[in-house]
Amino acid sequence: MKAPRGFAAFRALRQQPLWRLLAADKSPLTLALLVSLFPENERALPSSVLVDRLAGELEGLRALGEDLPQAARAYVDDWRNQGWLSRSLPAGASEEQYELTADAAGAIRYITGLLVPRPRATESRLATIIDRVLRLADETDPDAASRLRALAAERERIDRECAALVAGNVKTLPEARALERAQEIVQLAEELTADFRRVRAEFGEINAQLRMRLLDQEQHRGDVLAQLFADVDVIADSDAGRSFEAFWTLLTDPERSGELEEALTTTLSRPFSKSLPRSDRMFLLHLTRSLLGEGDAVHDVMRNLARNLKSFVHSREYLENRRMQQLILEAQRAALSIKDRIRPIDKIGYDLTLSSSPIDSISRWELYDPSLRAIATGMADGIPDAFDLENFAAQVEASEINFRDLRLQIALLLDEREQVGIADLIDEFGTPQGLGTVVGYLALATTMGEISADRRQLVAWTGMDGKARQAWIPATFFLKGSCDAN
């Protein structure tokens, strides 16, 4: 690339949100806030939650001497205008939701990769390239005889490996090379999940372009609907639509997804996986769920585009928007026609009443006093019910508790300790299924753990509705080695 062409291309990229975020004056502070506000397990946040969290973070930073003059809401609006946050109102939601844009997520992934750089998987990457080149050359070869020779050679290689295995000569990858390949898998999967944000952003741009076309074209309602149905095919036939549909078909295939689940479980049970960082092990543990969650979000966006456009046309909302656009253009043309005859400070004999809101003094507000509504009598502590394993076992059978994840979590913690209890597991991994997580641990304890009928322990968890709860259960423990036998 010649310097002038490269300069023009890079100057255009300099205006993109990703580069602006990395080059901002307070880029380290902004990146740190975005990472803190949007952890890996929370893709989107309601507006009130985001502002409340940001206000708390700002107070902590101001106490350390940072100059942060704006309020939390002002920072959120500024980040959205910069292209680092996207705002949406999902169907049925009571308030707007915010999430990181693809550019912001890419900048965060790049910077955090510099903080904890991963070793370059030289051998693994080279092996991948060689394998892909060989497959490409083979699968594009039109010569049947050549492909038969290649298949015969592959069959001979497989026969030699089978003979070696029968003879007891089992070769496995060295631990260093196995770790290298596992880390490359983690890196590729992280890049794949980040690509979903970009696909959703592309669908949003397609939606905006279709709406603009509906507003710009002077057509009857029947013609608009016909054009709309044609635009649905445009969405499906776009690069983003074709790429996502191919990926979604592969991911939701029961046979392939089952193979992936089984392979992940087998990989995490290998001795070398204990040398992986815990964050990588947890990422691989929840890989399928993360991919399905991100893919489902993109699928919902793609599916709702046509539905929203049809509603836009059927409700005649597009006619109102088109009329408003016409009025604005007429006003602009009228203003341009008289700009040379009337100055901005000239009186034109027309008063425009601006909209306003009532303003009142804060001193006239009355503070809420909870004591005015206090109950005269206190509340006695309730007697906890006796715990019945049979009743809980029946509930477990009727639920869809993810026992695979619970077993792996127990195994991960037993790698570091000789004995763990249910409270230890909850403190380490949380309760993503609320009460279901606690019940799942108890069910596994009946076959893998130790249950003391004459001792009880208090466990606390956060339900799926966000409320904190606690209960008395029999003292339950998992001992080192209990997962190996199951």
- What is the full DSSP assignment across 4-51? HHHHHHHHHHHTSHHHHHHHSTTHHHHHHHHHHHS-TT-SEEEHHHHH
Per-residue pLDDT, 188: 75
By three-state DSSP, how is residue 127 classified? helix
pLDDT at 465: 72
Specify if 155 maps to a domain. Answer: no
- Say if pTM beats, i.e. exceeds, 0.75: no
The whole-number pLDDT of residue 79 equals: 93
Q: Do 199 and 64 have their domain in common?
A: no
Residue 458 domain flag:
yes
Burial of 374 (0-12, 13-18, 19+ CB in 10 A): exposed
Low-confidence ranges of the chain (pLDDT < 50): 121
Residues 232 and 334 in one domain: yes
For 145, half-sphere exposure in the C-beta direction (CA atoms, 13 angstrom radius) is: 0
- Residue linked to tokens 């019910």: 385
- Strand partners of residue 476: 451
pLDDT at 362: 73
> What pLDDT does 342 receive?
83
In a domain, 454, yes or no: yes
Q: Is residue 254 included in any domain, yes or no?
A: yes
Q: Are residues 319 and 458 in the same domain?
A: no
Residue range of the domain that includes 277: 193-340
Same domain, 16 and 80: yes
258 in the same domain as 315: yes
Query: How many structural domains comprise the chain?
Result: 3
Would you say 212 and 226 are in contact if contact means Cβ atoms under 8 Å apart? Answer: no
pLDDT, residue 138, reads 77
In terms of domains, do 261 and 332 share one? Answer: yes
Distance CA 127, CA 178 (A): 13
User: Given 274, 307, 340, which residue is the final one in a domain?
Assistant: 340
Return d(Cα 444, Cα 478) in angstroms, integer. Answer: 9
Q: Provide the pLDDT for residue 58.
A: 92
Predicted pLDDT at 76: 92
* Whether residues 298 and 226 fall in one domain: yes
Residues 107 and 199 in one domain: no
